[in-house]
Amino acid sequence: MTRQLILHIGTSKTGSTSLQHTAYAHRAALASSGIHWGDPARPPRADAPRHASLSYALQRGPQKWAREQDAILADFDASGHPTLMLSDEVLSECGPAALARIAAFAAPFDTTIICYLRRQDRYVESLWNQYCGEARREGRSIRKFATARDIQSRLDYTALLDAWSEIGTVKAISFDAVKTALAPSFFTALGLDIAVGDEARVNVSPSMNCAALLALLNRQGVKYNKVKLVKAFKHDTLKTALGSTLRASLLATFKDSNARLEARYGVRFDTDMPQEPERPLFGPEEAALAQAISRLAPGRNAKAQDGKTTA
C-alpha cells in the first residue's frame, strides 16, 4: 500500500507557529488516525514543534538534504504509521532546485500539500512587521518593502501552488476566512475529527507603530532592546501600515492572479478595506511614540508602565 505524506508548507504569517504547537499537542490523536507527526528535534530549532530541519537542509545542499531524508524516513518507519505529517512554513519559499529535491523525496508517497494564504496586502504588512523585529533587522519602509522585487515575487499565489501541484494534491485555504478556528480548519481539510480546545496564540506581532519605529532604528543602525520597545507599545492597536493608495495598487497588481487562484484552487479573498490614511506609515505616529517613550522613562512604577494611573 502506498504510504501518505502530508506537507504543511505555510505560508509565513498565516498562524503556522500556532498551528504547529496545536498539532504537536495533539500527536496522540493524530497517531490514532494513523498519522505520525515527524520528530522535529533536529537543528536548527530542535526545541520547536515545527520541522525547521527541512528547509534548513534544503538550503545547504544535496549532502545535508540526503542526511535529512534518512533521518525523516528512519523516524517514520519506526512509528509504524501509514501517514507522515511534516510542517515548515519556509517550504513555501522554495526555489526550483529545492522543489526538485522535495519532489524526489515525495515520489514514493501519495502526497497532500496544505497551504494557507493571506490576502496580499495583509500578508505584506504582517511580513514587514515580523522582519523589522528579526535578526535581519529590516530597515526598508513599508512602501519600499511592499514594492520590492523579492517581496512581490512571493505574492503570486497561483504560481506558487502550480509549482507544488506537480508534487502532490494541493489544498489551499484562505487564512483570513479561518484565522479564528485555524486548527479545526486544518484537521477538517484532512478529513480528521479531532476536538481542539483553546488554540495557543504564538508569535503575535506588535503594533505597526512599533514596527515603524524598529524599521527607522534599523535604518540608522541604532542598537536597542527589542523586548522593551515591544512592551512599550503593548497598548497600541494600530494594525495597518500600507495606506489606502498603496493597498489598492498592490491588490490591483494581483487581481488576475487571484482570479486564477479562485478558479484553480477555490481560494477567494474578501474585499474588505480598512479605514486608514492614504499615505503609508513612514514612521510611528507621534501620539503612539510619545506614549511609548513615557513607558520607557526611568522611575515609572509598574502600574504606570502598564498604562494605569495612580493617585
User: What was the pLDDT predicted at 203?
Assistant: 66
User: What was the pLDDT predicted at 200?
Assistant: 61
Please name the residues in contact with 276: beta carbons below 8 A apart, sequence gap of 6 or more: 240, 242, 243, 244, 247
**pLDDT confidence of 33, banded at 50, 70, 90?**
very high
Mean pLDDT of 22-38: 95
Using the predicted structure, report yes or no on whether residue 202 has a pLDDT greater than 80. no
Cell numbers placing 240: 495597518
**pLDDT confidence of 276, banded at 50, 70, 90?**
very high
Amino acid at 158: T
Residues 44 and 40: their CA atoms lie apart, in Å, by 10
User: What was the pLDDT predicted at 193?
Assistant: 92
Residues 167 and 35: their CA atoms lie apart, in Å, by 20
Task: Give the orientation angle of helix 157-164 with respect to helix 255-265, to 10 degrees.
Answer: 40
Amino acid at 272: D
Residues 209 and 51: their CA atoms lie apart, in Å, by 32
Local structure of 4: helix, strand or coil = strand
Using the predicted structure, report yes or no on whether residue 306 has a pLDDT greater than 80. no
User: What was the pLDDT predicted at 198?
Assistant: 67
Residues 90 and 51: their CA atoms lie apart, in Å, by 10
Please name the residues in contact with 255: beta carbons below 8 A apart, sequence gap of 6 or more: none
User: What was the pLDDT predicted at 298?
Assistant: 73
Residues 310 and 81: their CA atoms lie apart, in Å, by 60
Please name the residues in contact with 211: beta carbons below 8 A apart, sequence gap of 6 or more: 128, 129, 132, 133, 205, 241
Could you give the domains of the chain? 4-127+156-189 (3.40.50), 208-305 (no CATH)
Q: Let me know: does 9 contact 88? Beta carbons within 8 Å.
A: yes
Q: What is the DSSP string of 104-151?
A: HHHTTSEEEEEEEE--HHHHHHHHHHHHHHSTT---S-HHHHHH-HHH
| Percent of the chain whose predicted confidence (pLDDT) is above 90 | 87
Using the predicted structure, report yes or no on whether residue 222 has a pLDDT greater than 50. yes
| Percent of the chain whose predicted confidence (pLDDT) is above 70 | 94
The pairing of beta strand 4-8 with beta strand 35-37: unpaired
Mean pLDDT of 255-270: 98
Q: What is the DSSP string of 233-255?
A: TTT------S-HHHHHHHHHHTH
Mean pLDDT of 217-237: 94
Using the predicted structure, report yes or no on whether residue 134 has a pLDDT greater than 60. yes
User: What was the pLDDT predicted at 185?
Assistant: 95
**Region of residue 203 (phi > 0: left; psi between -120 and 50: alpha; otherwise: beta):** left
User: What was the pLDDT predicted at 280?
Assistant: 98
Residues 176 and 182: their CA atoms lie apart, in Å, by 10
Q: Which of 25-29, 118-122, 156-160, 293-297 has the lowest mean pLDDT?
A: 293-297
Residues 270 and 163: their CA atoms lie apart, in Å, by 25
Using the predicted structure, report yes or no on whether residue 309 has a pLDDT greater than 90. no
Q: Let me know: does 143 contact 249? Beta carbons within 8 Å.
A: no
Max CA distance (Å), the chain: 73
Amino acid at 286: E
Mean pLDDT of 14-41: 95
Using the predicted structure, report yes or no on whether residue 302 has a pLDDT greater than 60. no
As beta bridge partners, residue 83 has 4, 35
User: What was the pLDDT predicted at 310?
Assistant: 32
**pLDDT confidence of 252, banded at 50, 70, 90?**
very high
